[in-house]
């Protein structure tokens, strides 16, 4: 597995270090756009450190156009890859692009399809990145989520009647996140892959943001409050906000410690359920799928080439 660390023998220089593409895949119905929001708020600060932070829709459009022009077969020649990287904003001292784009896995309406869970077109999309950027170092960041909260949140984003149409397409015993992880490893075997549980984001968000920024770079504090306060009650958020206004935290580690103290004092809230009503048979189906989540997470964390947070 390739990593973000410089090669042995000293720090990498801009002249010799490869270009890096870092993709926060999400997936759909995880983190409520908070990671993307942090990147957007801190685009200028990250760019000052040599990163490129494109708008997700523009990035996806550029990659789709490039893949359509190139075709699915054969790696892009060096000149074409270099031209595409330049179009995306890399080069001239910028070596690392970071984007939050769950759309790389396909539209939300294809998460559950007759082909299965996160199967339709996913392999082609990931292989397409490998074809377009054969010499560029890639890193995928993926959040997974238990079926009992993921499926209601996903269905709430789809038209009425989606539950009746889509849930019967899922097996009764597992929501196969491990298959998606295996697809990423199989079709981009040289790419780094960091995975965490959506439920653990209140604890692992500093590691997520540090992974996005990359080694040796400052992680901007702006926008961290939303991530750090996810578990706090309304009263805890209000009190923490007042305290932090008078005592800026300085970095993610300090902010996380402050939030832990306020959570201990004012309590933690559970994640609100999606605003969707499911019939009894669907609730039973979701419950069956949720039972295997802990076991599947253990399987994912043990896969070769996977860095599991939490």
Summarize pLDDT for 229-278 with one digit per residue, the tens: 888 999 999 999 999 999 998 899 999 999 989 988 998 887 655 667 88
d(CA 38, CA 54): 13
Summarize pLDDT for 76-131 with one digit per residue, the tens: 999 999 999 999 999 988 999 999 988 899 999 999 999 999 999 999 999 999 99
* % of the chain at pLDDT higher than 70: 93
* Terminal-to-terminal C-alpha distance of the chain: 20
In this structure, are residues 212 and 39 in contact, taking their beta carbons and an 8 Å threshold? yes
Range of the domain at 301: 20-219+280-309
d(CA 138, CA 128): 13
Q: What are the structure tokens assigned to 270, written together? A: 């559970």
In this structure, are residues 99 and 36 in contact, taking their beta carbons and an 8 Å threshold? no
Report pTM. Answer: 0.90
Q: Tell me if 145 is assigned to some domain.
A: yes
Summarize pLDDT for 99-110 with one digit per residue, the tens: 998 889 999 999
Q: Tell me if 260 is assigned to some domain.
A: no
Q: Tell me if 232 is assigned to some domain.
A: no
What are the two backbone dihedrals, phi and then psi, of residue 23, each rounded to the nearest 5 degrees? -115, 115
Residue 10 has a pLDDT of 38
Q: What does the buried/exposed string (b/e) look like for 77-94 if buried means 16 or more CB atoms within 10 Å of the residue's CB?
A: eeeebbebbeebbbeeeb
Q: Tell me if 259 is assigned to some domain.
A: no
What is the number of domains present in the chain? Answer: 1
Q: Tell me if 4 is assigned to some domain.
A: no
**Residue 132, H or E segment:** helix 122-132
* % of the chain at pLDDT higher than 90: 74
pLDDT at 226 over 90: no
Q: Tell me if 254 is assigned to some domain.
A: no
Q: Tell me if 295 is assigned to some domain.
A: yes
d(CA 138, CA 242): 40
pLDDT at 191 over 90: yes
Q: Tell me if 258 is assigned to some domain.
A: no
Query: What are the Cα distances from residue 2, in Å, to 124, 125, 130, 164, 307?
Result: 21, 20, 14, 42, 11
- Supply the Cα-derived Rg of the chain in whole angstroms: 20
CA 40 to chain centre: 14
């Amino acid at each position: 597995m390739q990593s973000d660390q410089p090669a042995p023998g000293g720090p990498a220089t801009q002249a010799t270090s490869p270009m890096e593409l870092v993709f926060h895949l999400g997936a759909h119905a995880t983190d409520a756009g908070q990671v993307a929001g942090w990147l957007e708020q801190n685009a200028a600060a990250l760019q000052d450190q040599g990163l490129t932070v494109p708008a997700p829709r523009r990035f996806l459009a550029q990659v789709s156009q490039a893949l359509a022009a190139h075709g699915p077969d054969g790696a892009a020649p060096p000149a074409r890859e270099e031209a595409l990287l330049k179009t995306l904003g890399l080069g001239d001292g910028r070596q690392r692009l970071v984007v939050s784009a769950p759309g790389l896995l396909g539209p939300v309406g294809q998460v559950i399809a007759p082909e299965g869970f996160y199967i339709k077109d996913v392999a082609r999309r990931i292989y397409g990145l490998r074809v377009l950027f054969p010499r560029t170092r890639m890193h995928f960041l993926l959040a997974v989520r238990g079926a009992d909260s993921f499926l209601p949140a996903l269905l709430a984003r789809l038209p009425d009647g989606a539950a009746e149409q889509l849930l019967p397409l899922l097996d009764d015993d597992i929501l196969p996140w491990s298959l998606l992880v295996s697809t990423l490893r199989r079709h981009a075997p040289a790419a780094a892959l960091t995975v965490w549980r959506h439920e653990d984001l209140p604890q692992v968000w500093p590691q997520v943001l540090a992974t996005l920024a990359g080694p040796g770079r400052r992680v901007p504090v702006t926008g961290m409050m939303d991530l750090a306060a996810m578990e706090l009650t309304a009263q805890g958020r209000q009190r923490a906000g007042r305290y932090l206004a008078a005592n800026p935290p300085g970095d993610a580690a300090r902010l996380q410690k402050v939030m832990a103290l306020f959570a201990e004092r004012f309590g933690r809230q559970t994640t609100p359920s999606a605003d969707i009503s499911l019939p009894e048979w669907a609730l039973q189906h979701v419950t069956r799928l949720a039972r295997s989540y802990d076991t599947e997470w253990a399987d994912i964390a043990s896969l070769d080439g996977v860095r599991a947070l939490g």
